[in-house]
Structure formats: C-alpha cells, structure tokens
Structure 1
Amino acid sequence: MRDGVEGEAVAAAMDLLIRYGEGLDAERLCEVRNVAGTSTQPTPAKQKIVAEHGWDKAFAVINLDSDQDLSIPSMKVPTCQLQHGFGADAIGTIPYRQELVQQQEDAEAFASDRGINILATCTPYQVGNLPVRGEHIAWMESSAVIYANSVIGAKSNCEGTASTGAASLTGRVPYWGNHLDENRYGTHLFSSEVRIDSFLDWGLFGYHVGGIVQEERPVLTGELGLPTATDLKHLGAALATSGGVEIFRMPGFTPEAPTLEAAFGDQPVPTEIAYTSEDRRRAYETLNDQGSSDDVDFVLLGCPHASLEQIREIASLLDGKTLHEGTELWVMTPRALRSVAQRNGDIATIQAAGGKVLTDSCPAMSRTAPKGCQVFATDSAKQAHYLPAILGIEAWFGTTRECVEAALTGTWRGELA
C-alpha cells in the first residue's frame, strides 16, 4: 500500500501510519474494520483550503497530513463521522453561523460519496456502530473510546483526525497500547463505600477516580448497583475527563473481567483504594466550584449525547410546564435518536415547554452557547469540567431533575443529597 499499489491516497495514508507506528515504537500494524473519526467538521482553515483547492485537498491535508494533490477514493473499511458542527435544525435557533452549517453539508456530501456514514454523534454505539468483543477498531472521542474498550470489549486507542483518516483508507493502525492484551489489565483497585446507583453518582465516582489514576486503568468494585448503558456512558465520560482513562474494569459487569483476578491478569491484586462519602463530597464540590451566581440562563443536557431513556425522563419532567423566560434548555442527542423520540412524542413535549432538542454537536465542540449566557447548569461531569474554560461561563452540576428545575425557575437550587 505504501508503494502505491492501491493509489496515491492510500500510499500517503500508509506512509503516515508507518511514521506514526515508528514514533510509537510499535512492532507492526494490525487490521481494523471499524473507524470512527472526523472529516466534516467546519473550520475557517478547512474553508480556506476548500475555496482554493477543493474537498480532496482538504481531506489530504487534515485527514492524511499530506500536502499532495490527491484524489480521495472510497474508504476501504466501514467508517463513520463522529459529532461535528450543529446541523440545520440549529439555524435561527442558536447563534451558530449559517455558512458553517452549509460548509458542513457540503463536507457531508463529499464524505458520504466516499462511504463515510454521517452518524454525527459522540455515541456511535447508540445508533448502529457497535463493534464486537475483541475487535480491533480505530476510534476518536474520549467517551466513545472508553465505552468501546470497557463496556463492549473492542480494542482501540484514542486516535486522532489524521490516524483515523489513514485507517479508513488502509484498514490498519499501529499495534500498540490498548490493542495489546497485556496493556488492558487493571492497574488500580477502587472500592466504593458509597452506594452507587444513580446517574449523578456514577458521574461523581468516575470523576474522582479519573483524577487519581490519570491515564492508568482502574478496576471498580464495592457498593455498586446494576448500571444501565446510560450510567456506563456517563461513568466513562467522567473517567476520561478528569483523567485520560481509556479503559476500566468492573468485575462481573464488563466483558473482560468476570472476576477480580481476571481484571488484573497475571499481576497481583493491589491494595484497594476506598471511595468514601468525603471523596464523593469533594468531587461534587470540585465540579461546582466554578459557580457563584444562582441565576441560571442556560441548561445543557445530553453529554455524551442523550439516550432515548434520558430524553423520555427530560420530557416527563417538563410535561405541561414552561421554561423560565430568561433561561434556555438545550438537549443534545444523535439525529437518529431524535427521530425516534419525535415519533414517541417526547420532542413535542420538550418543545412545548420551550426547550430545544439539537443534533450533530454540542456547545463544547462548536464553542457556542446562547447569546449573553453567563451561568449554565448540567448533569454532565464532562461539560461542567470543560465548558467554563471553553466559553468563560459559570457552571453548576447536579441531577437531571435539578437541572430541569433550574430551567423552569431560572434559579439553581441543587445540593448533594
């Protein structure tokens, strides 16, 4: 492939992967048949390249790290587009430039013609891209990667724009990191003394543990309730936010850890680290240390993108009610799930209350919030961590119910139970 047997674009892609692998000191490449990356995100830099040279050149520069004039063929392996900019449903609704929406639609047409599925979500596993246990994949997006590694049992490192672009055209990535079984075993053992059986507590637990282990691999035990897929999505996102965790283990729950001993492989089980009620309190206070005003003008739900169950809960909390005049509510979800929720009647309920259900992106990715926003509330540890730094606004973190209540009253009244 590097020598051009499959064309110049594939040769450029393989050249990138070989350089990447050499930089990692990997011994070889491995085959992948599932890629989740980004090729359609609108940016000023991309807009300039497209205006001067066209979409093929933009893909070559951004997704293959190549300055060559390449003709981009169809992707060699199944590939999907993760979240990007806001879609057309945001035009006239949020302060997002219409020209960026148009650039994105043009990019989608180019990518779709080359076999890229425009799932446009940070949770591709919720809308059809579900790899199998043991499968080598090449995914971007921290919350998606940790879910794939931990909950599904697929094997991926947290890849980048260029490596996923190259993997799409070659079906290969360097064989290193999480692709090797010996790098997937646990490094730390945590035991929760606190009963964890709520969406809020899965997020707090993950945020606390991630801050301690950073890029290592925690094994989670103790007073754990039976998590839903939505809970595990939230847990993984929190672990990957406060740290750089790409894989965790929960003996008896996650597929590669039927027992505590299996979670650590041939290594001795380490001394457990307790997660206490004091740790829980500290995690909560850390996530709320960037809020001072109780006046909430923006509520953000759906990070990672909301599941159908989350949308249904939000709709039930809003049923027959009206948002506070000075407060906006945005619910982020995959477009495919929005269609189902529309059919279920939940979208109409949220909209009747004054809320907005938006797709394809999020405020952190697109750096967009309601005009004049000063204080926002969220049930996402990830957004509470990132959005204040990205947009310079205050944050409150709490339960979904507390966030909806803030949207209805314009006031934050959340507290740790």
Structure 2
Amino acid sequence: MLLTPADERMLAGEEGPAIRAALELLVRYGELMGAERLIDTDNVCGANLFGPRHARVLGTTDPAALFSRFSLDLDETVDVPPFRAHSCQLIGPRDRDRWDLQGVAPVDAAAMDDSERYLVDKGVDLLSTCTPYQVGNVPRFGEHCAWMESSAVVYINSVLGARTNTEGRESSAASMLTGRTPYCGYHLDGHRRATHLVEVRHPVVTTEDWNVLGYWVGEQVQEAVPVLTGPGLTHGAGAPTPVQLKQFGAAAASSGDVEMYHLPGVTPEARTVEQALAGREPDAVSVFDAAAHAGTVASLSRTATDREVDFVMIGCPHASLEQVREVAELLEGRHLADSTTLWVFTPRTLRAMAERSGYVETIEKAGARVLSDTCPAIGQFLPPGTRVFATDSAKQAHYLPAITGVQGWFGSVRTCVTAALEGRWQDA
C-alpha cells in the first residue's frame, strides 16, 4: 500500500501508540480489501459505547481499557488522544433515560455513563441513532465517509451520493483517530455502477410496500448494486419519500448485503437505467411482480404462528417525526390491550421535537412508550415474557426472531398499532 509521509509518521508511532495501532489496523484492512492507498475522511460514524456484554468479557468497566481492546484490537490499554475526524456515536445498547424499561441494572447504566463521558472527551458527538442523517449529519454529495450501520450506509451511498463502505467498529474507530480510510469499494466510481436490473411490475405505493420490495431485492441481488425501474416508480404518487427510501434500504441490507442502489429520477448518481449500468448489460434481470410481493410478505412473518401479540416495536431504522406522528394519530384517545406492550424508537433529537409537538404525550397516554438511543436488536432486550412481537420493519422482522427466539409478525404501522390495541394480530 502506498502511504503518505504523514501516514508513515503515524505508523512509526510518532503520534503515540493509539495512532500507530489505528494506522496499522487500517493498513491491514486496506491490504485485505485491495486498496492501493488511504484517503482523508472527516465524517466517521461508529459504535464505541460499550455495554455490560463487553465489560463481562474483559472483566472491567474502564472505558479506556474497553476502547483499546474492542476498538483498537490491543491487549494493553493505551492513552487515546482526541479524535482527528468529525466523529459520531451510532445507536447503542440502552436508552440513556429509560434504561430501567430495558431491564438494565443501575451499575451497568453507570458504567455506560462513564463510557459516554469518555467518548465525549475524545470529541465524539453522541447522536446515538442508526439514522444520523435524520438529526444533522448529512454528508454532501461525493464526500468520503467511514460509517458503520448497514441501513445508514445504503442510505448515504444511494440517496445522498456520499461514499462509504460498511465499516466495522475497529476500522471506524481507526478512522476517527487518523482521519484516514482505505480507498476501495464504494469509494471508487467503478464499484458504484449498477450490476443488476430490477423490473418492478407490482405497485409499490405505501411504506409497507417499500419494505417488502427492499427485502425481496436484497434476496435477489445479495451484495450487488441494483438499479430499479418500473411504471410510476420514480415520479408522481409512486415516487418514494425519504422514509420509504430509509425502509427500503434497510430491508435490502438485511436480506442481502446491499450497500448501494440506483433509482433513476430519485437517487442522484444516474438519471437513467443506462447511465446507472454505465452502458453495460446487467449481470441479471429480476422481476418483482404480484407473486414476488405475496411471497415476500409471507416470508417476513414466517416465524409467527401464534396470533396473541405480547410486544409491538415501531422504529427500525429509527422513526422519523412523521412516523411518530402517525403512531400518535392512531393511538389518539385509545389504550393498549393489557397484555401488549408498544415501544416506538426514534432519535433523541426527534423525541424532543415529538414531545414539544404533543405526540409523545398522546402515545404514552395510550400506554405505549417512546424510547431513543437503542433498539431491541442492538440492545438485545424485550419486555419480560415476550413470545410474539409485531413490527412495521422488514429489518426487525428479519433480525429479532433470530437474535431473541421470538415469533415475529410484519405489517403496516396501522396493522401493528391495531395489534397493540387488540392484543392480537389481524391480517391486513
């Protein structure tokens, strides 16, 4: 790998052991990825807030020790200087205010407070969400970033035209410290062109539809780059909203490993299918029709057999203000079934806006709760006694049954809220 004089100085340890470890990590990673060099980045989103699972493994709650071990892959604890790149903490293991609802022990909550203070001292913005682009971190077109979180990566690559690979905890932490990232993958023009054509022949109108389409596309193309085409898909009533693009990308990154897609007329890097394909023939053509839609809907609820619903989860990726408002409108003047819990997850900044707008009060009067900073899959928590849950998120329907062993129903926000009100899943 070609290194600059500044890279060489970092690698030689002239800026301290933490910087040296970070640069060594990036060089190893870059060589495995076939990168010829490193490039500058000033926009890094990682996950370096450590919870009780990490502390138990290491036998300590010391934030410096946890960061050295899990973020820098070091056996010894080193002094870590302030981060060089603009850095954000992604979604974490607990809600900072409502950790008791998650069953977090007070001693663990205190240790996570220490971990947060450690990150703040290094210059990290505690956005604590899987959707940083909803709360102020909106990369510019063409900007080289180093982000974790699959749903955020596919969003900024595709919808915003920024450039990032799906980073890990270690590589993102190394980029925070050095302001460098390997020049490979989706940082390169050639990797961003479409390889697969998806013809959408079934109407895709609602947010539920975009979840379903995304999940199906991910299954079809896996880690490839799809370009989508179809009547009404990119203009008029069929044009997707930012929320729908958020849900679509998250679903595609769950069933497959989609990090980028093209929707000509909506996403910025290709105005036509031909431009997205860079004038080449697609490697494969897939058709999303009524049968594909129906099969995917059934697949998303494949783990569910019991219709008595214990828990409803809305907000994966974290809900927008519009989504929180929708839940509030559906719950206005009503109350949840005694047997069912409803939790809505949204970024902390948006929760504050929802509180000011009265949405949180309406939701919580109905017996539900609005949480931030985490989600059941990341935090690995559920209301006690949960056997069956329902969600409006294809991503959560994909992951939560596998992580926690519960049954999962997938449907629209309205269908999910109805399940929370009635305590039972009813097909739409």
Coarse TM-score class (shorter-chain normalised)? over 0.9
Q: Which residue of 1 aligns with 2:5?
A: none
1:175 paired residue number: 183
Aligned-residue offset at 1:7: 2.1
RMSD, aligned CA: 1.4
Q: Tell me, yes or no, if structure 1 residue 197 matches structure 2 residue 210.
A: no
Cα 1:5/1:314, change in 2 over 3 Å: same
Instruction: Give the Cα–Cα distance (whole angstroms) in 2 for the partners of residues 39 and 286 of structure 1.
Output: 34
Tell me how far 1:24 sits from its aligned partner: 1.8
Question: Per-residue displacement from partner, 1:120-151 (whole Å, max 9, x unpaired)?
Answer: 00001101111111011000010010001000
Residue 297 (1) aligns with residue 310 (2):
yes
The equivalent of 1:334 in structure 2 is 347
Instruction: Give the letter for the 1:318 counterpart.
Output: L
Letter in 2 for 1:373: T
Shift of 1:270: 6.0
Distance 2:298 2:154 in 1: 25
SS in 2 for 1:252: coil
One-letter identity of the residue aligned with 1:351: E
Q: Tell me the distance in 1 between the aligned counterparts of 2:251 and 2:344.
A: 19
> Is 1:32 the equivalent of 2:33?
no
Write the distance in 2 (CA, Å) between the matches of 1:56 and 1:50: 13
- Contact 1:364–1:383 under 8 Å retained in 2: yes
Conserved? CA contact 1:219–1:249, under 8 Å: yes
After superposition, residues 258-297 of structure 1 pair within 5 angstroms as 258-269=271-282, 272-297=285-310
Matches within 5 A, 1:283-362: 283-362=296-375
Residue in 1 that maps onto 2:26: 17
> Cα distance, 1:240 vs. partner?
0.3
Please point out which of 150, 154, 161 is paired with 1:153.
Answer: 161
- Paired AA for residue 148 in structure 1: I
Match for 1:288: what amino acid? S
* Structure 2: segments with no counterpart, 5+ residues: 1-9
Could you tell me how far apart the structure 2 residues matched to 1:395 and 1:304 are? Answer: 17
Task: Measure, in 2, the Cα distance between the counterparts of 1:138 and 1:92.
Answer: 33
| Distance in 1 separating the partners of 2:274 and 2:315 | 35
**Structure 1 length-normalised TM:** 0.96
Per-residue CA deviation, residues 206-239 of structure 1 (Å, 9 max, x unaligned), is: 1111001110011111032111110000000000
Structure 1 residue 92 displacement after superposition: 3.4
Corresponding residue SS for 1:283 = helix
The alpha carbon displacement at 1:388 in A equals 0.8
Deviations 1:72-129 (A, max 9, x none): 1110010000001112332433323333322211100000011000100000110111
Name the residue aligned to 1:388: 401
Which is worse superposed, 404-413 or 15-24?
A: 15-24
State the distance in 1 between where 2:329 and 2:53 align: 40
Q: Which blocks of at least 5 consecutive residues in structure 1 are unaligned? A: none
Alpha-carbon distance, 1:384 to partner: 0.7
1:47 shift after superposition: 5.3
Instruction: Give CA deviations for 1:351-375 in whole Å, capped at 9, x if unaligned.
Output: 0000000111000111100100011
Moved more, 202-211 or 85-94: 85-94
Alignment of 1:42-61 (within 5 A): 42-46=51-55, 49=58, 51=60, 54-61=62-69
- Given that residues 91 and 374 in structure 2 are in contact (C-alpha distance below 8 angstroms), is that contact kept between their aligned partners in structure 1? yes
Deviations 1:232-272 (A, max 9, x none): 00000000010011000001110101111111114235664
Match of 1:101 in 2: 109
Residue aligning to 1:88: 96
Amino acid in the other structure paired with 1:230: V
Match of 1:379 in 2: 392
Distance in 2 of aligned mates of 1:243 and 1:285: 18
Measured in 2, the distance between the counterparts of 1:343 and 1:302 equals 19
Amino acid at match of 2:68: A
- How many residue pairs match? The answer is 414
Q: How far 1:37 sits from its partner (Å)?
A: 0.2
The structural deviation recorded for 1:64 is 1.0
Q: Deviations over 1:29-57 (max 9, x none)?
A: 111110000111313333564738x3222
Residue aligning to 2:193: 185
For 1:94 and 1:177, the matched residues in 2 are separated by 38
Identity across aligned pairs (percent)?
46
TM-score by length of 2: 0.94
Alpha-carbon offset, residue 179 of structure 1: 0.7
State how far apart, in whole Å, the 2-side matches of 1:213 and 1:207 are: 10
**Structure 1 CA distance for aligned equivalents of residues 294 and 75 of structure 2:** 51
Q: Which letter maps to 2:278? A: G
Once residues 48 and 218 of structure 1 are traced to their aligned partners in structure 2, the CA distance between those partners, rounded to angstroms, is: 40
**Does the alignment pair 1:240 with 2:253?**
yes
Q: 1:285 to 1:267 in 2, by over 3 A?
A: same
